[in-house]
Amino acid sequence: MPIEEPGAAHLLLARNVVHLDPASAVFGAMKEGWARQQAARLLRPETIGSRLRLIGRMGEFTGLYPWQWTPAEGEAFIAHLRSGDDPIRMSTARNYEVTIGLFVGYLLDARYDWARVCLERFGEVPQQVFHEGNSVLHTVEYEGDPRRRPLDYDEVQALFDAADARPGRIRGQGRKGAMAALRDAAVLKAVYAFGTRRTESSRLDLVDLRRNRKAPQFGSFGSVMVRFGKAQKGSPPKRRTVLTVPEMDWVVGVLEQWVAEIRPQFSPGRHPALWVTERAGRLSPRSINEAFVAARESAGLDKDLDLHCLRHSYITHLTEFGYPARFVQEQVGHSHAATTAIYMGVSNEYRNKLLEAALKNRLGDDWDVMA
């Protein structure tokens, strides 16, 4: 079969390492080309890297190259990941299916030449692995683990009490880490008081602590500027300002003590981060997770609760405090009110208050007689 004028696929292959076998060279060039396409869409390197690793896992599991994949291989791969002691969740399975579908869609796009290359070299053409008959349908708004829920007020207090007790226990055991434990307690309280995600919390700088002229009583801690909010695909991080609410005014004292007394003992120098490590670096999202797990275990709370549950708690408790839904949505940086509603898990007491108010509004004085 005559080869036409070289396209994108042929140019990538020409640059590939010559000592690779032809099939491996083509597979490598495919992944390189797909990575470049995603980079041109300004997707994050982390996103691109995780997608490429998934394609590599699919290849390793099947022992086949992408032009040999069939729906049967895709089904077997997902079935394998859904089995065992630690199966992937439904939302993860869908994400994997979508990712593999995007990769195959790239290969089938005539603008990139890969179908022609595969036909010329191997006599086969890639085909879509997942379709309506074998992929996870998105039928509900929220598919998160139902065990992840807001903490109630007693659980929040127990978590903070456990975090506050850790520095003294560490000192009593003659171990290092008491200062880090003081920092961890402050971090967890700030995460709850402002409803921030773990990466948002990690990326906060001192300059992100702002005054709020409408609430001068909070001084320099009247608001927090979140500059690295969760981004949509191909978009820069979203920004928002989170206001300190009166019900969370205790966090002002926590932050004052951290900034003025505890943080300087880490010798951060000119490092801009709000939360710093013993080595004068920025506290990582993973370390914030670990701080939550340590406090949760010390408090004897449900092991299925994770750091993100504090964000669920923040949304729920703001609602129970009586803040309008739109205000809560803006505080947490959700684009849609429906997303905020998913996080909400108000108590029966709050629901009963709403019911009582509705009945009073409808029945007037007759409500007191019925009550």
Catalytic residue among 31, 94, 312, 334: 334
Alpha-carbon distance of 284 to 228, in angstroms, equals 14
Strands lying side by side in the sheet with 238-243: 209-210, 223-229, 238-243
Catalytic residue among 96, 106, 314, 343: 343
List all residues 6 or more positions away from 207 whose beta carbon is below 8 Å from its beta carbon.
225, 272
Burial category of 220 from C-beta neighbours within 10 Å (exposed 0-12, middle 13-18, buried 19 and up): middle
List all residues 6 or more positions away from 4 whose beta carbon is below 8 Å from its beta carbon.
116
Query: Which amino acid type is present at position 28?
Result: G
Catalytic residue among 311, 312, 314, 317: 311
Catalytic residue among 308, 323, 350, 353: 308
Q: Is 308 a catalytic residue?
A: yes
Catalytic residue among 230, 303, 336, 351: 230
Query: Which amino acid type is present at position 77?
Result: F
Catalytic residue among 149, 189, 197, 203: 197
Q: Is 334 a catalytic residue?
A: yes
Q: Is 311 a catalytic residue?
A: yes
Q: Is 230 a catalytic residue?
A: yes
Q: Is 343 a catalytic residue?
A: yes
- Count of CB atoms within 10 A of residue 97's CB? 20
List all residues 6 or more positions away from 220 whose beta carbon is below 8 Å from its beta carbon.
209, 210, 211
* Catalytic residue list: 197, 230, 308, 311, 334, 343
